[in-house]
Every structure is written in C-alpha cells, then in structure tokens.
Structure 1
C-alpha cells in the first residue's frame, strides 16, 4: 500500500534506524547470461533473509523477467527496500515490502534489453 511504502521509505532514510544490506553483484557479458550472486551482510553474520535461488539469469541482449522469493528467517517482521545502480534497466515489483515472520515474499525482476554492463542491486532490510 502507499502508506506502507511511505513508512518504509522514511524508515530507510532515517539515520537513526539500523538496517542490514544484502548485496547482489551483477556482471553482464554481452551475448551471455547475467548472473546475480547473493552475499548476505548482516550483524553478527546472522542470515535474516533466504533467497529462492543462488543466481538469476537474464540474456543481456533480450532482457526478460525472473521471479525471486525472499524468505524471512527471523521471528519478527522485516521491512525491505530494493535499490539498484540502474533503475532504467531493472524494474522490481514491489520495490518496498514487509515480510511477516518466517514467511516468503515474491518479487518480480524485469530487465530491459541492453548490451554489456556492470550493475549492482541491494536489498536493504530492517526490523519493523
């Protein structure tokens, strides 16, 4: 909802709210698949999110859609926000969300056709 989105946007922009980031490194090779590797970066090495796949594959010249499921491993509600270095190339639906304790959330990732390029995507999380 719009109210949830505004709340999460304010939450992630606040310098007083600690949040973790899960970094996704994307390397795009022209004519080959794009691989996204997930490396959790959470306090005390605790894994707060679990991803449905180790990699997402896109054809750089064609683009396409992929589905990503994020599962909370925590007994609390987790708010997330997805950021990307090239928002013109990638579309995430939804960008903001709240994952209930031990629940799974589905995100649709769409990549537009584009030649060789290096991008980075981040999933920011915080306890809500």
Structure 2
C-alpha cells in the first residue's frame, strides 16, 4: 500500500483544515467554554479514532494548560469517574456521539449544562478533530519517543 503524506500532497487543503481548526477553537471560546475542555474533547475523539499523533499532541497541550495526570488517565472512561463536571461530561458524550454517529436515540449528553451555542461549538470541534485524526492516521504521521 502506498503511504502518502496528505498534507504535503495537497498543502492548500491542509491549510483549509488549519483555518477550520482555528475557527472551531475560537467558536469554543466565544461560546463561553474553557479551552481546556476543548483539549479534553480532542483527546477523547483521538482515543476513539486511535490517533497516536493527535493524542500525544493534545495530552501535551492539556498538560500545558494545567490538566492533571489523574484526569488525563481516566478520560477514556470518563463516565466511571467523578473527575469531570457535569458540563465536561456532556461535552465528552456529545463528542462521542459526533465521532461514532450513532443511530438517533435519547441523547445522554443533553443534561442541560450546554446551551445551543456550546453544543454547536463542541460539535464543530469534534468534527475538526475527527478530520485531523483521519489526516494523521492516513498519512502515517510518526509518533516516536
């Protein structure tokens, strides 16, 4: 199988994704959500997609923003811990819904802690993160110690 670095093959498309990412991050802030919550969403989406490159990047980014090792250790099983606020739980569940595209059913994330603007911002952030994961995985971005 031929491995192609998609960002180098079509750099203009890569720059479009960079711009989309920037806009999604700004929408999160305009919606009144903490950028650290955005990092948690990016981590969870990357866990679901199995993207080592993005996981390493966003765990480092979250740590730089003050996230604790304990909370990072349990993001993959956030629903079983008491580390996350109601709003963080809603955002993580929503990001999972966006990533997995489930058959419509009652929304477990819809606990009233996110307003419409925040639901939109988290949804866009998860969509963008799914794009980055697919780009990194398909391009086989290196992840070495």
Task: Give the number of the structure whose residues are more often helix, by fraction.
Answer: 2
Shared fold, TM over 0.5: no
Bigger relative contact order (CA 8 A; separation at least 6) = 2
TM normalised by structure 1 equals: 0.29
Structure richer in strand, relative to its length: 1
TM-score when scaled to structure 2? Answer: 0.27
